[in-house]
Amino acid sequence: MVAEWLQKLLILQDRDSSCDGIKQQLARIPDQIAAEEANIREIAEALKEKENAMKHLEVKRLDIEGEVEQTEATIIKYKTQQMQVKKNEEYTALENEIKNLQAKISEMEDEELLLLEEIDQRSVILNRDRDSITSQKHTLEAHIELLKKNYAASQSELEAAKGAVVECGQELDAGVLQQYQYVKSQVKRPPVVVPLVENKCQGCHLKVSGEVETDVRRGRELTRCDSCGRILYYDR
């Protein structure tokens, strides 16, 4: 038969540990939200980069078109000059210039055609990327919403759990409660109240002294492990 104070203490520990669990859960959520927000930014930036690359190709294509127009204007100008020149060699020189410019135009048009093909292919991929990013973004946003809801739910859960701990603490002897809180602040990790099994503290797994063992077996008062300081009880 476990002493009444010990029963109450174990209940307190149990409630306290649920309280700590909720606190840990709460502490993790803001980081999880921040991570998902970072993911959203990352995919949006990746899409922006692809869109910029596409814009760059469009600009390049417009540049080529502009240059073709300019070159065509120059050809017209040379043709007009040709009609005005008197000397044969001047006429031939202009004729050669015009031929050079026409060859240049043909090269530029080839380049523009290749560019157009690239733009077409890329725009198919870009549209696909946009769809996929939109759906990824929705998934991430839904997860953020869920995390926010969980946060709010955990907060009310924590309030209730805290209340349960206080309620349980009130049932305990003030001295016992104080010792529990002190030991909790001293040990590296829970639990605070542990059983003694085969003379070994189940917190630090070290053997306790004969005196401690006797006191724990008697179970009349709160006894602590002489190695780690945890509160011990004899589980019979």
Chain residues in the site for Zn ion (CB under 5 A):
201, 203-204, 225, 227-228, 230
Counting other chains too, the contacts that 143-151 makes at CB distance below 8 Å and 24 or more residues apart are 143/36, 144/33, 144/36, 144/37, 147/29, 147/32, 147/33, 147/36, 148/33, 150/25, 150/29, 151/26, 151/29, 151/30
CB nearer to Zn ion: pick between 193 and 225:
225
- Say which amino acid occupies 47: L
CB nearer to Zn ion: pick between 15 and 230:
230
Full DSSP string of 130-183: HHHHHHHHHHHHHHHHHHHHHHHHHHHHHHHHHHHHHHHHHHS-HHHHHHHHHH
CB nearer to Zn ion: pick between 61 and 184:
184
SS3 at position 202: coil
Other Cβ atoms less than 10 A from the Cβ of 203: the count is 25
CB nearer to Zn ion: pick between 8 and 230:
230
229 dihedral zone (left: phi>0; alpha: psi -120 to 50; beta): left
CB nearer to Zn ion: pick between 25 and 227:
227
Closest contact distance (angstroms) between CB of 234 and Zn ion is 14
Closest contact distance (angstroms) between CB of 232 and Zn ion is 7
Closest contact distance (angstroms) between CB of 11 and Zn ion is 21
Closest contact distance (angstroms) between CB of 215 and Zn ion is 14
SS3 at position 188: coil
Closest contact distance (angstroms) between CB of 195 and Zn ion is 11
The strand ranges marked E within the chain are 193-197, 200-201, 223-224, 231-234
What is the C-alpha separation between 200 and 207, in angstroms, rounded? Answer: 4
CB nearer to Zn ion: pick between 169 and 203:
203
Closest contact distance (angstroms) between CB of 18 and Zn ion is 23
CB nearer to Zn ion: pick between 199 and 227:
227
What is the C-alpha separation between 16 and 12, in angstroms, rounded? Answer: 6
Closest contact distance (angstroms) between CB of 194 and Zn ion is 7
